[in-house]
Amino acid sequence: MENRTEVRYFVLVGLTNDPDLQLPLFITFFLIYTITIIGNMGLILLILSDSRLHTPMYIFLGNLSLVDFCYSSTVTPNVIAGFLTGDKIMSYNACASQMFFFANFADVENYLLVSMAYDRYVAVCKPLHYATTMTTRVCVCIVIGCYICGFLNASIYTVNAFSLSFCESNVVHHFFCDVLAVMIVSCSDRHVNELTFVYVASFNIFFALILILISYMFIFTSILKMHSAAGYQKALSTFASHFTAVSIFYGTIIFMYLQPSSSQSMDTDKIASVFYVMIIPMLNPLVYSLRNRDVKSAFTKIILRSR
């Protein structure tokens, strides 16, 4: 038998070791995280406070904001603290927990975007049946289903990664405990585990993306059949924000996780991860708020009330 010492903690390399960049990066990410908190929590409070926004579309949007806040919060505060303290050590259990919660909320967002696409499909293609199809009960069941899917997939990813042995190195070349970055550190044969991750992640991503594209196809077809310019503009605006969010989200995920491992660059992955972990949660509330008349109207109403 071979003598091996199991890893009890991981050392995260982080984004950079350049001391001159620590303060500028701290300020940058602190501002990004502050905007993320204000944007997402503000949108949730706005939806809760205005009865006109208690509709299926905003139930999904409120949950999307909650998930954006949660999965950004699993990583960003730790990164910000690391710039100040220089502490890049994370315990074995803390690393596993961060991986689980990040994968959980990211997967929930994946399926929430599918749910929102279906909601827009019913709104544009079957407007007369919208009220009877997208009831509150149906929306709550869909949202619960999204969280269950996220929990199950995150459990698979985390158990799959931490079933490996970690004994030779504990240096993770990333700024958080990402699945692939942690697997690379393992001293076990990780081929089967990597394939398991790629297959499960590919299924979740492409299954969701195919459903979204099918919804878009029906929406575009319905829009092209409209003879009214006002109806055309209204229908187009109902999913323009969703299309923007979907393009950013899936484009980044596919770039990060589904490219061949031989062509992966750690530095490139870290830059993509910054966009995925920190920028997208900040952009989503802005994308949906700036293009949404109901949200702007509710916000104006609250400002007038406060005055």
Which segment of 49-53, 102-106, 196-200, 216-220 scores lowest on mean pLDDT? 49-53
Identify which has the larger pLDDT, 68 or 234.
68
pLDDT of residue 2: 45
> For residues 69 and 281, what is the distance between their CA atoms, to the nearest angstrom?
7
The answer to whether residue 199 is domain-embedded is yes
Identify which has the larger pLDDT, 167 or 257.
167
Which segment of 3-7, 128-132, 190-194 scores lowest on mean pLDDT? 3-7
pLDDT digits (tens, 9 = 90+) for 31-89: 999 999 998 998 898 888 877 778 888 899 899 999 999 989 999 999 998 888 877 88
The answer to whether residue 4 is domain-embedded is no
The answer to whether residue 278 is domain-embedded is yes
- Our count of domains for the chain comes to 1
Q: Which strands make up the sheet holding 171-172, listed edge to edge?
A: 89-91, 9-12, 171-172
The answer to whether residue 1 is domain-embedded is no
Mean pLDDT across the stretch 172-197? 88
pLDDT digits (tens, 9 = 90+) for 256-301: 666 555 434 566 677 778 888 888 888 888 877 766 676 767 767 7
Identify which has the larger pLDDT, 295 or 24.
24
Q: pLDDT class for 228, splitting at 50, 70, 90? A: low
pLDDT of residue 229: 63
Most confident of 37-41, 220-224, 229-233: 37-41
pLDDT at 117 exceeding the cut of 70? yes
Which segment of 141-150, 164-173, 284-293 scores lowest on mean pLDDT? 284-293
The answer to whether residue 208 is domain-embedded is yes
Residue 239 is part of a domain; what is its CATH number? 1.20.1070.10
The parent domain of residue 298 ranges over 9-306
pLDDT of residue 32: 93
The answer to whether residue 2 is domain-embedded is no
Which segment of 6-15, 138-147, 247-256 scores lowest on mean pLDDT? 247-256
pLDDT of residue 105: 94
Of all residues in the chain, what percent carry a pLDDT higher than 70?
Answer: 85
The answer to whether residue 102 is domain-embedded is yes
Mean pLDDT across the stretch 130-142? 90
The answer to whether residue 3 is domain-embedded is no
